[in-house]
Structures are given as C-alpha cells and as structure tokens.
Structure 1
C-alpha cells in the first residue's frame, strides 16, 4: 500500500511528538503530594495494593489478548502510582463476579473501577469520582413499544450480574430481570430478540457491540438521569488509603485527563494502517479457504434451493386447495342456511296462524311442541353459522346503547319454556346499583347469557338455576359486570372441564344422545366474551353442579340511564310505606335490597296472620297506613289472589287499602287475566328485575317529576292505532307458502296486501299502483329479477317508500348489499310472527305520513298561546327565520357521521315543532333522535329523508301564512 506525502508528514509528526513526550515531561519537576505522616507510614507498610477489576468493562478497564491491563481506569491508576509511589497489582484470570466476591471477602484490597451504590457502601470506602459515565437503554431496532424507561414495566430486561445497573433495577419490581454473566451475553440476548431491552453503560455497551459485530441495536437515554461516576473502592479498614488516593486524583491535571479521555473515547479520524494490514491478511486467508470449499457448498446449496422451491410449490398448492375448500364450505353454509330457513319460516308462520284458531287442549300441546322443535333447529343453524364466522374471522362487535334489564327480560322470555317444561326453580339477583343503560353489543351479550342459562337448564333435571349480576370493578365511565350462572345439575369432571370450550365437543358421547346440541355453544360463548375483552371462568363438581362466571367490561350511557334520575325520584318515594309478604327467604331479601335502593320504607312478613296484623295496626288513626302492598302469589296457602280478595273484604282495611302488586310465577301467564277481578293494581313476573319493579311503582303512584322512560317510549302508544288507516302493503315473494303466511299475518292486523311472485312483477305492480302502496316486503332471491335488482329499480321511482328485506341469508355482506340497493330494513327468516308484525307497525308508524294532511296544525298550535293569533304568527315567523339552513346542516352532519351534532339539530326542531302544532314532525324527530343516539344505521337514512321532507313542507306552509 502506497502512502502519500500528506499521510507520511502526519505520521512523522506523531512519531516525533511521541519520542519527545517522555523527555519533555521527565525533565519537568512534579511537586510531591502533601501527605501526612500517617499516610506516609501506610505507604511504607503497604507498598503494593491488590485490586479486583472487570476484565471486560470496555473501554474503562479490560485485559487485552496478551493479558495486559488497559483502559481509562488503568491510565488513572498509572498516574496515581506515579504520584504516590504505590504499586497496584490487578488480579488476573478472574471473572467480574469472582473478582468482586474476593474483594467483598477481603481477599483483595479493593476495586479499580466501580459505580457507587448503597449495597457496595456496606463493604467499601469510595474515592472521589475520577470519571463520569451514563446509563442507557439498548433495544432491538424492530422494537417499537419501548420509548422511555416507563415502557419497561412488564418487559424482560437483560442486565449484567452484580453490576450497578443490576442493583439499580432491583428497585423496580414491575420489570422482569434476566441476569447475565457478561455484557456480551446480555447484548446478544436483546439482539436475538430473547429479551426486550438491556440496561448498561453507554460507552461499554457501544464498544462491545462493535467488537462482536452487533448492528441491530439502538439506545434510548434515560430521562432525568444524572451522570454515573466511576470510583476506586477500598476495604473499609483503610481510610488512610482513600485519603491518599483522593489527593492523587486531585493532583491530576486537566491536560492529563483530556489525554486519557481522547485515548479511549475521543474520535480518531486517522487511518489505522496496521488494522487494515491485519484485516487484509485475515481476508486473504479466508478467501483461500473459501476457494477450497466453495465447490462443495455451491453444489449443496443448489440442492437445498431446489428442494425448498419444491416445498414452497407444494405449500402454495395446499394453500390454494384449502382456500378453495373454505370457499366451498362458506357457499354451502350460505345455501344451507337459506334452504333450511325457508321451510322453517313456513313452520313457525303456519303454527302461529293455526294458534289463532280454535284448538283442543291436546292440539295446543302438539302445536307448542312443533314450535319449540323449530326454534331448537334454528338455534342449531345459528350456532353453526356463528362458528363459521368465527373461523373466518368475520365476527364483528357493534357498539350501541342498550338496556341491560331489557336483555334480561328477553332472556327470561326465551328460557321460560324450558324452565316450565323441566319444573325447576329459576331466580335472578341483579345488583340494583348497577346502571341500566350501557354501550355495547346487546345481541352478543344476550346470546352469551342465553347459551349459558340454556346449558345450565339442559343439565339440571332437578333443583335450581340462578343468575347473579354484580359489579366487580368501576373506572370512571367503565363498569366490569359479572354474570354468574349457578346450577345444581350433573356437574363435570376436571377432564370434561378441560374440553368444555372445544368446538363440536361434549362431556362424553352419551351427553349428545341424552341432551342433544351441537357442542358449539360454549365455544361461541368463549369467543364472544374474549372479543369483548372479558373473561370466563368455570367451576364444577360432578354430581353437585356448575358455576359459570363471566366478566364483561361495559361503558355506561349517561344520556339514557335512569339511575342518574332515580335519585330525584327517591325523594318522592320517601312518602311510600310498603308492606311485603313473601315466604321465600331469597325473594324477601331481594325485595328488601331493591326497595332500600329505591329509598322506600318497607316492612316484611312471612305469614298471612302477620300480614293482616301489620295492615290492621297501620290502619289505626294514630298510625301511618301502608300505601303499597307487595304479595308473592305462592306465599299464602290459599294463593296470593285469594288472599288479596280476603283482605279486600276486611271492613277494617277497606277504606285505606293500599295499592297492590302481585308477584306472578314465571309459568302462570293465566293469572294476569284475574288481576282486575281481584282489584289488584299490577302484576310483575318472577324472577324480579329491579327496573321493572321500579317503573311499576312509578306508574302506580303517577310520579311524573322525572322522565322514567327514554324518548323512544314517547313514540310507543297503542300499537293498534296504526291499523285505523288501511295501509296497502306489497309483498314480493316467490315462495307460495311464505306468501300465504305474510298475507295472513298482515291481513289479521287490518292491512291490505298485494302479492307479486317475482321481482319484475313487483316492479311493474309498484309502477302502476305507487300512489296506493305505503310499504314493500321484498324477498331477495327470486327468479326473473332478484330482490336487489327490483329494489334498485323501485328506488329510481321513489326514494322514500320503505322497503323491508325478507331474507333467509345469515352471512356477512348481505346487509351492506341491501343498503346499496336502497333497502333500509331487514327481517330474517324464519321470523317470529309477533316480532314481524311489530316491526312492520313500527316502520309504518315512523315512515307513513298522509300528504293530504298539512304538517302545521294551526288549532293545535294556538292552544299553546291561549288562542293569541298575533303572538302565534310572531312565533311562526321566528321559527321560519331560524330554521332556513337546518336541512343542509343535518344532511352534512349525518353524511359525516357526526351524530352528536345531528342529535342537537333534531332536538331543537323536536321541541319547537311540538310547540307550534307540527305534531307529525315532532314524532318523526323523536324517532330520528333515538336512531341517532343508538347509531341505528339501518333506520337513520329513511328517517332523515322523512324528517327533512316534513320540515321543508312545514317551512313552505309557514311562508304561505306570513
């Protein structure tokens, strides 16, 4: 290698300066240290000091390949030796751990280069610091989750054993430490991804990383970290030596310190030709070796590449086959769902129609068995489809406002048939302090509870099943609710528990034969619970029973929850004095808890005699009479209704008889028909749900100082009001049985029904009779023209006519496809006839508006201003001026999904429209506001169109009056 003139000049200057350096400094005189006689005596008695060192604490101290002690500490010790006359011997052949242990045990006199820690102060005296270093965090380049020291909580952190960093990290129990003998091992662990981070000295770790070829690490500074100082540590019985060392360190000049620092830490931009020669020699040797073995490896690698390509090709083929099979499975499930749901719809529909006819007792039993069998079959189909969606990763959660008690009521209604059939006791204990309204996915929560409760009922042939709902945690608006289902059924062994959540698996083969089912229910439950970030635990004992504990986190909906308003009502409940007669210890305690929560004063009895005694005493002139009496039907020996008749006949109680609530057994719906005859004010089904009891008491005493129900209930009046107008409904359906069922159900409610056997006939019929038709029921799969295509064509004629899809498809994507075709509402086959009718009524109620009736009812509006026409006209003018841009603002808010803003706009119109007599607009505004609050995407578009049309019409009517 040729050296240019510039490089030769630099090298010459350096060599000359190196030769002159010792001469220059040896000629200068160094003043002696100001040592005391005691310190001089110590040096005379201890001329050699034996120190322990870290052989790999680069670049502060280390042993090179020849065993020579080098580094920053070595240079400082050499200066101290020169200034004091002491000789320092470094123990060699020891690891840092063993060297440290010998120093602690006193076998060596001290440590040459350490950080000062509280633990080490127990064994050593420390000199003044002679060098500062910094502690940093090293992470893998691929690690994105660690940005600062706080992010190390819960992480695996590598550290060198017995280092100051080890002592430092022991103060952080949230960090999991992996201790290594050397820094190299620790750095390699982080580099290979075995640990999340390494805490160590910046200079040392950087030096070692380069030496061992690690290039995939980054470092992060630790905020608010003071520099770490390096000291000499000496045995505690040699304070004289510490004094000597401190004087020597003080005597070291700034120039000497700079020289040491630049030697080991400073950046050197010069070319290290010696290193280049060394590396070049090694490369040459390696190249020669590579030439020798290259032929062998090339041949071997070619074979491996060929084999790998073959494996990849096989894997791709297998993947394509699996994807194809999965697609065939999905298509099969979709088709199976459609084909099975269609006849199931016929079974449930015809059963409902048949139930309306005159039947004998045995015929009613047979019909009920047919209905239950169809429901069981639908449940199996739904389980299989849910499992298919889980496998495909297509299960999605929705977040809407829902009433927890309504979910519980639906659970009771569905499970009541099985409870009645098996004659077992079913109870619910719900913590009354848990709010009612939450944001979450009520359908999946309901499905979870139904699967667990049905499972408990299925395996409990005698005894009871209970559901306990309690609050286990609360953080601001987020509640963790535990649903605990306990049964006294057959129980499970540990082995059966281990297989409980495996799909298509049951405790043993006899379970399926004895109790039925697909074995998918528990697997689906576990998936749904985990999807909601919840957890499920199961405890069971063979022959004793099982307990399922499910915890689900939910966010409270303060806008709807009546708990925030219940405190106000409690002031009025103080005037209620209640007497409860319930012989059941469970229900007595439950009612005591609920009434206490409502702030109602109550007394409790367990016998007929005590009940009569309490009522008689309270009816005396000097006592406060009871104004509420709650009796469990099953408590009196003569039954609750007979007992209340007896009480009513008592002349001492007749004039001051309280309002009465009868607790009705779940399976005794026939008792509700007897309440009026017995002069009973209200019947409430067991198991008792707190909000049902609460609302019942409010209704009895007409407490109107709060809004007990949400605004949605304002729209719910007598459902039969709709049938006063002869609505015309078009049913587009190719299946004759389904046509018959839909037509029969609708005509029973007073609707006029027209039929079309396919989509094309439906479109043609609508074109010819569009002025008469107010609603269309549309099947999706039909010959000639499908429901999607027919709806698209109808939307070109009329954007507002409500279209309800009647679909047997239960697969993902149908809803979105319907929306693209202009279908805003859905009814899934097979449908429950009563649910079907209620949905049709609800949609007609919010969608239908007789265009011949003006939006503005002047006579109604004048009532609010006592007939003052001048004032009314002024209010109309203000309304007209304020609402010119409302339609545009609302459309923008809805299109951008800014529902909170849209709610405020609608709320303003709702309030003012009712005050001027625009009742139709007021009711539609209530429906739209409710849909916006619940994010009911399927209803919002149609309601928004109707709202804006009515508002536009109203503004035109007002303008014509001004």
Structure 2
C-alpha cells in the first residue's frame, strides 16, 4: 500500500542514465521536505529487475534510456501488474508523448525544466493521491462483485453512487456517498424515471438507454461541477433478456482537476518555450544587425591610413565585437539545444587538418598569455574519418580556448588516441590538458551547468557566458560521448571525451576551385539595388560597392525595392531577408512571379543566418545566390561577377505559385559552368564525357529514389542520397543544385522542414531535366 501521507518515508526508484538528472530529482525531493529512500538504475533492464524484487511508492522514468525508451519500459512494468505510480521525465514538451504515456498507465508527465522542488512535490503528491483513488475504486468494484452483503458498507464509505434501474427505466435503488456531492439524498430517486432524474443531462439518458439495450460501457459525466466515471452494467434475466441495469459512479473530480491543471501547466510551459525561442530569434537578428555593421565598418577603416593610436583603438573595437559575437552565438546554440533543433551531419574530413586549423586559430591568443600549445595525435589514426567536422571543431575550440583562457605562462596539450578500432569504425579519445588555475573539487560538477562558472571571481576576471562547457557537453552527448573532467587547484585541468567515427568512405571529395582575384573594372558599369533597412549596413554596403565604381540605389524595405525595380533598370538586387513591411522572402517571390520581363533579374540574398536551412529558404523564394553577414567584400564581388558578367546564361526562374506550377519546358535556360571540370580534366575530353555521362544517366534515377524514400518516410535515406549527389552537382557546375542538395541533406530528418525538402526536390528535378537536355547537346 502507498503511504497515507507524505510525512512517511517513501521508497522511490529513479531510472535515468543521466547522473545530473538523478541528482536534480534527489535534491528537489530533499528541498521539498519529502522523506525518501531512493534506488537508482541507469538502464531500463536494471530498473525492471528492481521492480521485480522490491516494492516502490513511485517510479521516475527518463524518456530517453540507452537500451529502450521510457514508453517501452512503462509498458513492461504495467505488464508485470505493478500498481506503483509512474512519472515519465523528458526534456521535450511533446503533447503526443504525454498522451501516449498517460494512455499506457503513467501517472504524470514532467518536463526536465520542471524538476524543481515545487514541480516534483506536486507531481509526486498528485500521482500518489491518484493511484490511491484508483486502488480504492478497484477495491470497491471487487467488493461489489465478491459479496452482495458488503455492498452497503462500501457505498456508505467511499465517494460512489450505486443505482439500479428496471427494464422500464424506473429507479429501484440509488445510494452512495457521492449523492451528497450533487445535493441528493440516498434513495431519493426511487420510483422516478431516468427521464425525470436526468432531464438536464441528455447524454446520461442516452448512455442509460444504450445499456438497457445490452451494451456495457464506461463514460465520464459532469454533474453540478463534479466529475463521475460511470460503469453501465446491463442485468440479464431468464433467456438472456435485459431486465434492467446497474450503474456504478465514482467521484474522479480530483483526478480530472489534476489532469486539467497538468495540461494547463504543460500548455503554459510549451507557450513559454515558444515565446523564448521567438524572443531569441528576434533579439539575435536585432543584435547581429548592428554587430555586423560595426565589424564590417571596422574592416573598412582598418584598410585606411590610420595613426598608431587610432589603429590601437580600432583593434580594440574589433576584438570587443568578436567577443560579443561569441557570446551571442553561445546563447543561440544553447537555445537550439534546449529546443532539440541541433542536427548532426556526417561528412569525410581530414582530422589532422581540422585540429591543425583549430590550433592555428587559437595560437595568437595562446601567445598573448605566453602559453605553449602542443598536439599529440596517435599515428595509427588515419587522416580521413567520417563524422560531424563542424561540431568537433566547435568542441575542440571551446575546450582549447578555455584551457588557454585559464592558463598563463604554462602549457596546453591536446592528445588524440585511437582507443578502439573495428572494421568500419574508430573510437577516438580526446584530451585537453592545461597547467592553469584548476577547479575546486566541489565545483567540478557545476562547471557543466548553464550560465555557471567555478566562481564569481572567474566571471569577473575571465568573462564569458558560462555556457561554453554546457554547449560542449551537450554536443558530445548528442554524438554518444561523455565529457569528463579532472582537476586540482593550482595544478591545472584535463577535459576528456570519446567519440565514435566511421572510417572514411570512398565518396569523391568536393573540390574547391582556386579563384583568381576579381577586378571590378572588368564588369564595367553595374547598377545595384540594395534592399536593407539598417542604416549601418547601408553605410557599409555603399562604401564597398561605390569603391568598386558601381552605381548603388538603396531601398529601406522590400516594398520600396519592388517599386524602385518597376521604375528603374538594375543589373543585380542585393536583398536583405529580414525587413519591415515586406521582407526579403516576400519581395523575392513577388519579383519572380509578378515582374514580367524583370522577373529574371539576378537576386543575391543578404542574410545573417547562413545555415543550410536558411539557404534552402532563400533558394525556394527565388534567390540566385547568397552572401552572409557581416558583409565580406570579396565574397559579394565574386557573386556579382558570376551573375552579371557579359554572357552569364539565362537565370533559372521558377514559378512558385502553387495554383499554377511551372512546367519544365517553360522554365528557361539553366546556367551550366564546366570551368572546374575542364580544369580538373586537364584536356582529357574522354574523362569529361564520362563524368557528364554519369550525371545524365545516374541523376534522374537517384532523384527518383529520393522521391520514393520521401513517400516511405525513409528520411535517413533521403539525407544519404542528397549527400552523394552534392559532388556531381558541383562538378557539373550548377551551383543552385549543389545548394539544394546541401539544404535537403541538412533538413531531411527535421519534421518541421520536410515540406521544404519536397519543394526543393521538385525544383531540382525540373532543373535537372533542362540541364540534361543541354548537356546532351554539347
């Protein structure tokens, strides 16, 4: 039996593989004043063994376990007929998971963000109270079935209503403690018809009539603000004829109110998360815009004649800007992780080169603090591995950067060891050692907590958000690893983790052609329309573009840009994607669909969020290319050169109106650039013909397989096909197709972006049809 009150010691089981979560629950229990004896299990299998061998007052189950998910474990426990209350703990606020958990027998559903003393106490008390109600209800039902003589005693002591109704719908018995809740007396309904007693409740009458026709069922009814769960049980006489029915109604008002309160709290929590995400998205744009302007104008000023004093001040501004950008990126990464929107990629990369580039990036900072950097890589590790190079670089940059920051006149060592090798995989252990200030033993756990540093003095002296190690830890755990730390005050710290990589596959490398420096004078007179609402970015763009000798007009939003394009002729539009009144997406779609002869004008998307997902949105809107903020003059000039040179080819212009989708024959020409393929072939025409032939014969089949995978919801296969196609798209020189494949690969397994993936595939297939026709004519 469950304890009758929460002052008695509770016997609890926590099934969670995350030590931090287990500690959080135990601390919250203690802080809430709940006396408990706690048993811990880090896998579902271990938890089941504990349930078999011991009786518990409540079980906490983490939704994500290493050997099974929480719903599967919940089902297994319920199959053991264990009546113990079960609380499902998860880091996601998915109402479908909550509904499924309650359906499978969970007593409650708790977000990890609500594992506070108040949240734990409320959920635990509610679960135990609701389980007690369930047990009392079952006991009452069993007593009713086993001994008619005990019926009256049960009715008088629990909040139920028991009624007997004859075949004519007349009450012959009606009693129970529950009657008092709705203002009625025992047997006050005897001799009355169901139509009289329940005249105000037609749904109750409908259920009674169904039961009198021989249907056994349950229903929940609300009467005078009280909720009753009612069992309608037909009573059969001789020959199987229904002679009336019995009804058993149980007061479940507390449970319903608790469920409503839980649902309301859940909705509020979800709304809070959405608001926070929207706030961070908005504030990131608002902060990035002036930051990009500051950094861009700083770069422009650094190229001018300056005194030594002016250059010192300018360098300080540039350094401060970079630090602010790091803090902003930390906050955005942390927000994405909380929302579960961090996605991992798998590509071939050179591990030694990645580590070398990371060390080169951090060496100036190490020199400032007079630190020696040393790297030792196991010679058994191959140069090429397959994994997420971007996230590994981020992890190493954070750990090595931290080591440098907290060390002075010392040494930072990076060690990479091949600890386990199989036919296809490598388990690599990374260690970052420093001889710096170290961490107090009682602070070792807290350094991984959000917005935490070892002490307030650390924050004041060294700066930072306190999110670096939190983000690093979560990135490692997303890839199946675990971040560990050893440290002694005054002697230094060692952070280590192990990650599994696949041995590099045989996919062809993606080559990047060496670009020659572009002379803007080669383009002659170029007229540019800039759509940008931020005055700093306008100033920066005007300085850069007019220095090239180009003519520039500026529109403060998309609507003004459209109007100016109607009145004037331009060679290219530089379109900011975030603007008031009409943003860049709307303006680009309008130009492509409504501007007639001018709808083919080259459009370069100007965005502060150069993610593959964002690039995909820009391409779908109709952009030909993109440049990221802060503005990089050479990058912008390169894109303008590609789009407005003397014979650029007709720009691909899709019709994005759903009510009139474009046919492939109406889509114009596709710009194919075989320059790099020719350079790589070094005059070998047979090699070029082979590559082009492979594209013509293999691409339609690959795109069809991708379409079939989408129909079968096989999103990992969609991602894999897109990854394979990127290289061939690059070799053929169709930049838009290459970006489309990159966007599909990035977003294929994100449920929120799967509609965009289908649109990108549709567009890619149409471009390929035209490209193949053109390649066959070469």
> Fold match, TM over 0.5?
yes
Q: Residue 893 and residue 356 in structure 1: after superposition, are their counterparts in 2 closer, same or farther (change >3 A)?
A: farther
Q: CA deviation at 1:307?
A: 3.1
Instruction: For residue 720 of structure 1, give the secondary structure of its aligned residue in structure 2.
Output: coil
In 2, the alpha carbon distance for the partners of 1:866 and 1:438 equals 32
Instruction: For residue 782 of structure 1, give the secondary structure of its aligned residue in structure 2.
Output: coil
- The residue that corresponds to 1:744 in the other structure is 543
In 2, the alpha carbon distance for the partners of 1:717 and 1:810 equals 21
Q: Residue 947 and residue 436 in structure 1: after superposition, are their counterparts in 2 closer, same or farther (change >3 A)?
A: farther
In 1, the alpha carbon distance for the partners of 2:682 and 2:311 equals 58
In 1, the alpha carbon distance for the partners of 2:725 and 2:402 equals 47
- The question of 1:466 aligning with 2:413 is answered yes
- The residue that corresponds to 1:289 in the other structure is 150
Q: Residue 193 and residue 778 in structure 1: after superposition, are their counterparts in 2 closer, same or farther (change >3 A)?
A: farther
In 2, the alpha carbon distance for the partners of 1:315 and 1:904 equals 47
Instruction: For residue 499 of structure 2, give the secondary structure of its aligned residue in structure 1.
Output: strand
Q: CA deviation at 1:347?
A: 0.9
- The question of 1:347 aligning with 2:294 is answered yes
Q: Residue 744 and residue 552 in structure 1: after superposition, are their counterparts in 2 closer, same or farther (change >3 A)?
A: farther
Q: CA deviation at 1:291?
A: 2.1
Q: Residue 723 and residue 494 in structure 1: after superposition, are their counterparts in 2 closer, same or farther (change >3 A)?
A: farther
Structural mapping, 1:278-357, within 5 Å: 286-298=147-159, 305-357=252-304
**Cα contact 1:807–1:828 (8 A) shared by 2:** yes
**Cα contact 2:673–2:733 (8 A) shared by 1:** no
Unaligned runs of 5+ in 1: 1-144, 147-151, 161-174, 176-186, 195-215, 217-280, 562-709, 911-921
Residue deviations 1:393-420, cap 9 Å, x none? 2222233444434533542354244223
Q: Residue 389 and residue 891 in structure 1: after superposition, are their counterparts in 2 closer, same or farther (change >3 A)?
A: closer
Q: Residue 753 and residue 283 in structure 1: after superposition, are their counterparts in 2 closer, same or farther (change >3 A)?
A: closer
- The residue that corresponds to 2:500 in the other structure is 553
Residue deviations 1:12-47, cap 9 Å, x none? xxxxxxxxxxxxxxxxxxxxxxxxxxxxxxxxxxxx
Instruction: For residue 467 of structure 1, give the secondary structure of its aligned residue in structure 2.
Output: strand
Unaligned runs of 5+ in 2: 1-42, 54-66, 68-76, 85-104, 106-141, 161-176, 182-225, 227-250, 651-670, 710-717, 748-756
Structural mapping, 1:182-261, within 5 Å: 190-192=80-82
In 2, the alpha carbon distance for the partners of 1:849 and 1:951 equals 24
Q: Residue 356 and residue 283 in structure 1: after superposition, are their counterparts in 2 closer, same or farther (change >3 A)?
A: closer
In 2, the alpha carbon distance for the partners of 1:325 and 1:385 equals 17
Deviation larger for 524-533 or 799-808: 799-808
- The residue that corresponds to 2:579 in the other structure is 782
Tell me which of 706, 720, 742 is aligned to 2:518: 720
Q: CA deviation at 1:468?
A: 1.9
In 1, the alpha carbon distance for the partners of 2:356 and 2:687 equals 45
Q: Residue 440 and residue 944 in structure 1: after superposition, are their counterparts in 2 closer, same or farther (change >3 A)?
A: farther
**Cα contact 2:616–2:743 (8 A) shared by 1:** no
**Cα contact 2:529–2:554 (8 A) shared by 1:** yes
In 1, the alpha carbon distance for the partners of 2:342 and 2:599 equals 32
- The residue that corresponds to 2:63 in the other structure is none
Instruction: For residue 554 of structure 2, give the secondary structure of its aligned residue in structure 1.
Output: strand
Q: Residue 929 and residue 512 in structure 1: after superposition, are their counterparts in 2 closer, same or farther (change >3 A)?
A: closer
Q: Residue 807 and residue 313 in structure 1: after superposition, are their counterparts in 2 closer, same or farther (change >3 A)?
A: same
**Cα contact 1:802–1:824 (8 A) shared by 2:** yes
Residue deviations 1:595-642, cap 9 Å, x none? xxxxxxxxxxxxxxxxxxxxxxxxxxxxxxxxxxxxxxxxxxxxxxxx
Q: CA deviation at 1:386?
A: 1.8
Residue deviations 1:224-274, cap 9 Å, x none? xxxxxxxxxxxxxxxxxxxxxxxxxxxxxxxxxxxxxxxxxxxxxxxxxxx
Residue deviations 1:483-540, cap 9 Å, x none? 2111111001211102111111111111111111111111111111101111211111
Task: Provide the alpha-carbon RMSD of the alignment.
Answer: 5.1
In 1, the alpha carbon distance for the partners of 2:144 and 2:360 equals 83
Instruction: For residue 469 of structure 1, give the secondary structure of its aligned residue in structure 2.
Output: strand
Tell me which of 822, 825, 829 is aligned to 2:622: 822
Structural mapping, 1:869-948, within 5 Å: 892=704, 924=733
**Cα contact 1:346–1:738 (8 A) shared by 2:** yes
In 2, the alpha carbon distance for the partners of 1:843 and 1:877 equals 30
In 1, the alpha carbon distance for the partners of 2:387 and 2:443 equals 32
- The residue that corresponds to 2:313 in the other structure is 366
Tell me which of 740, 755, 760 is aligned to 2:554: 755
Q: Residue 487 and residue 934 in structure 1: after superposition, are their counterparts in 2 closer, same or farther (change >3 A)?
A: farther
Structural mapping, 1:244-643, within 5 Å: 286-298=147-159, 305-559=252-506
**Cα contact 1:481–1:554 (8 A) shared by 2:** yes
Instruction: For residue 518 of structure 2, give the secondary structure of its aligned residue in structure 1.
Output: helix
Q: Residue 856 and residue 812 in structure 1: after superposition, are their counterparts in 2 closer, same or farther (change >3 A)?
A: closer
Q: CA deviation at 1:306?
A: 3.0
Equivalent residues, number: 525
- The residue that corresponds to 1:805 in the other structure is 605
Larger radius of gyration: 1
Instruction: For residue 634 of structure 2, give the secondary structure of its aligned residue in structure 1.
Output: helix
**Cα contact 2:143–2:150 (8 A) shared by 1:** no
Q: Residue 284 and residue 762 in structure 1: after superposition, are their counterparts in 2 closer, same or farther (change >3 A)?
A: closer
Q: Residue 403 and residue 311 in structure 1: after superposition, are their counterparts in 2 closer, same or farther (change >3 A)?
A: same
Q: Residue 906 and residue 791 in structure 1: after superposition, are their counterparts in 2 closer, same or farther (change >3 A)?
A: closer
Q: CA deviation at 1:387?
A: 1.7
Instruction: For residue 159 of structure 2, give the secondary structure of its aligned residue in structure 1.
Output: helix
In 2, the alpha carbon distance for the partners of 1:346 and 1:875 equals 47
In 2, the alpha carbon distance for the partners of 1:801 and 1:547 equals 56
Residue deviations 1:767-804, cap 9 Å, x none? 5667x635x43212323421111011123258876644
Instruction: For residue 514 of structure 1, give the secondary structure of its aligned residue in structure 2.
Output: helix
**Cα contact 1:334–1:811 (8 A) shared by 2:** no
Q: Residue 876 and residue 929 in structure 1: after superposition, are their counterparts in 2 closer, same or farther (change >3 A)?
A: closer
Residue deviations 1:693-722, cap 9 Å, x none? xxxxxxxxxxxxxxxxx4513x22324378
Q: CA deviation at 1:297?
A: 1.0
Residue deviations 1:348-397, cap 9 Å, x none? 01100001101223322221211111111111111122222222222222
Q: Residue 723 and residue 453 in structure 1: after superposition, are their counterparts in 2 closer, same or farther (change >3 A)?
A: farther
In 1, the alpha carbon distance for the partners of 2:682 and 2:320 equals 60
In 2, the alpha carbon distance for the partners of 1:508 and 1:394 equals 31
Residue deviations 1:728-774, cap 9 Å, x none? 6543212222022124334556766553332123334445667x635
Q: CA deviation at 1:444?
A: 2.1
